Homo-oligomer: A and B are copies of this chain.
Amino acid sequence: MTLSAGELGEFELIERLLARLGAPSEDVVVGPGDDAAVVRIGGAIALATADLLLEGVHFEIGLSSPSDVGWKALAVNLSDVAAMGGVPRFALVSLGSPAATPASTLEQIYDGLQECARTFGVSIVGGDTVRADRLIVSLALLGEPGEAGIVTRSGARPGDSVYVTGAIGGAAAGFALLRAAADDERASALLARYPRLADAHRRPTPRVREGLVAARAGAHAMIDVSDGLARDVGHICEASRTGVTLQARAVPVADGVAEVAEWAGSDASSLAVGGGDDYELAIAIPAEQLDALSSALGSTPVARIGVIEEGHGMVLDPGDGGFVELSSLGWNHFSGEA
């Protein structure tokens, strides 16, 4: 009997699908499995990445405005290029929509796309529109390497420090509050008190500048925090064939996440480490490069959250003497389980 997509889970499904592909052309510098592909085209090096966002899975109109949806659809792709140390350049937008959707809703999605594109110097150069039973925003993004070249997931070495930009957990906390706020006074009050949590879900800021300066500062490996910090650092370790120890208490948790965790009957570290959708950068870099990294990042906060280890153990040190298996954290699109 054949397993279903949901039974396999996202990551094993992807592995099985990639196994169907043949040997890539020698012009494929980085193939599937990193934040973006890197290819040689017409004598140049280009980065390419794509994401498919669905109403009801990745966003809900009502919780996000159409313009937020447009912004985020491009932002998550910009984040992938940022995580390679690349410069985003051109986007293709495919939009699916029910026939009954007001044209103004779709125009607002485009306004959000364009606002994000303008902010990060990207041109929207084409795409497709089709009839669908719900809103679908499918983006493909092309970029160029920054002057320091490409940073993949696979260059981490034992002894490297693991850094993360900004603060974590805000997007997951904001999304949980937004979904609950209509029926839950406490959630509604938390939303009012911490408006940046809703913003973190609705309008993430891709770390484009930070990815470029981290590459220049000598980052060995990078990834954007989309599946959940622990899971994403795990991806670096898998690709680099290393282990890692993360210090849960060192993870910079966004303002308000502790209160949201309490409301949700969870704890702030779990929400932050497992939550996903933050679009911060996790960076593996030698300890001696830390000063250069910090000063290059300027006003963007950065925190040391762990160290790359020999072997392949991936453990979270909660700071209370116990350990948590990282493989139990992060988001699986198909099973819908945290």
Contact = CB atoms under 8 A, between A and B. Distances in A.
A49 B140 CA distance: 9
A52 B103 contact: no
Interface string A26-65: 0110011110110101111110111111101110000000
Interface stretch (A128-136, A210-218, A261-269): A128-136
Nearest to A42: B44
A163 interface: no
B130 A54 contact: yes
A222 B128 CA distance: 19
A138 interface: yes
A27 B99 CA distance: 34
Interface residues of A, number: 88
A126 B2 contact: no
A101 interface: yes
Contacts of A336: 99, 131
Interface string A210-248: 000000000000000000000000000000000000000
Contacts of A33: 126
A192 interface: no
Contact of A44 (B5, B44, B121): B44
Oligomer copy total? 2
A95 interface: yes
A28 B92 CA distance: 12
A152 interface: no
A225 to B, nearest CB: 16
Interface stretch (A12-20, A201-209, A281-289, A310-318): A12-20
A17 B97 CA distance: 13
Interface stretch (A106-114, A167-175, A179-187, A298-306): A106-114
Nearest to A145: B42
A90 interface: yes
B92 A48 contact: yes
B107 A17 contact: yes
A90 B7 CA distance: 30
A31 B145 CA distance: 22
Contact of A129 (B14, B96, B123, B144): B14
Given A42-B144, A46-B46, A52-B96, A27 B123 contact: yes
Nearest to A56: B133
Contact of A46 (B42, B57, B133): B42
B17 A106 contact: yes
Given A48-B140, A103-B16, A334-B131, A41 B5 contact: no
Contacts of A42: 44-46, 144-145
Contacts of A24: 123-125
Nearest to A77: B128
A50 B131 contact: no
B4 A114 contact: no
Contacts of A53: 130
Nearest to A35: B126
* 5 nearest A-B pairs in the assembled complex, by CB-CB distance: A6-B99, A42-B44, A140-B140, A44-B44, A37-B125
